[in-house]
Amino acid sequence: MLNAGRLNKRIELQAPTTAPGETGEPEKIYVTYATVWAGFRTLSGGERLASQQVGATLTHEITIRYRAGVLPTHRIKYGTRILDIKDVRNVDERGEELRLRCTEVLG
């Protein structure tokens, strides 16, 4: 059973869509479709070198109450932080909680 006391962070679930950009061309944007309580657990961290820039990547497991429609193409906004959802698991297939494995790129 889900321990509601662990859900102590307020996050926004966001889905991708397209909208006209400054030049009229469609561009990908994210729109918030739900604000929910969540629990965070940092699983790992690492550094990467891409295009001559050093950055860090954190992997988190985020637990929320079950809600249909959460997909790996969605993302999470937590304050100013953006986390990309990589995996969505319905714990024990009971429809009570979702565990979202996410990555956050820093810097």
CA dihedral over 11, 98, 40, 85, signed as positive or negative: negative
Lowest-pLDDT range of 9-18, 23-32, 55-64, 85-94: 55-64
105 vs 47 pLDDT, higher one: 105
Position 55 scores a pLDDT of 64
Which stretch of DSSP H or E encloses residue 5? none
Phi, psi for 6 (deg, rounded to 5) = -75, -20
Q: pLDDT tens digit string along 42-56?
A: 887 655 544 455 567
The arithmetic mean of pLDDT across residues 1-12, rounded, is 84
**What are the residue boundaries of the structural domains of the chain, listed by start?**
4-106
Pick the CATH number of 4-106 from 3.30.420.40, 3.90.550.10, 2.40.10.270, 2.60.40.790: 2.40.10.270
The arithmetic mean of pLDDT across residues 63-68, rounded, is 95
Six-digit token string for 95: 């429809």
The arithmetic mean of pLDDT across residues 74-78, rounded, is 96
